[in-house]
Amino acid sequence: MASRSGTRIARKARSKAEVDFATWLMMAKLGSFDDLPANAQGFLLSYRARLERMSEAESKVVAIQEVYVSYYGEMGGCGAAPELDAPAKSVDNDTVQSQRPRKPPAARLAAGASDKPAARISVPALLIFAAMVALIAAYTFLAT
């Protein structure tokens, strides 16, 4: 049980470290370095210092590992932070992606199921407006 909760803490800490580091890096690039918390500034300063000795990708990996170890301890992990398999995505990519798979749009679900009713047909706004004007004109004509 302890190893399962330790792995859960490790995964959460790793995910949070990756997202936070990407956020901090983007904020620093946008000129908001001074607005970051002190620990974030420290991680970014060590990241920048490493850039002189190693590539950007290697420096990011080391920085995320440092943040991960810090978060693992803060989240209640016991002992040394376990080594987790890195995600299959490229470290050079500065985009942050959702961890959950997206649901297909409702139109695709409706089109794929034969027992469900067909998807609604959208009516252009101009057609709706014209119908309203015609109804008001008809009401005014008939009311007088």
Residue 123: pLDDT band by 50, 70, 90 thresholds? confident
Residue from 22, 58, 24 nearest 39 by CA: 24
Q: Domains of the chain: which residue ranges?
A: 2-74
What is the tens place of the pLDDT at every residue in 44-67?
A: 899 989 889 998 889 899 998 888
Statement: residue 121 has pLDDT above 80? no
Residue from 84, 77, 66, 64 nearest 22 by CA: 64
pLDDT of residue 133: 96
Residue 105: pLDDT band by 50, 70, 90 thresholds? low
Query: What three-state secondary structure class fits 126?
Result: helix
What is the tens place of the pLDDT at every residue in 4-46?
A: 677 888 888 888 889 989 998 998 888 888 888 888 889 889 9
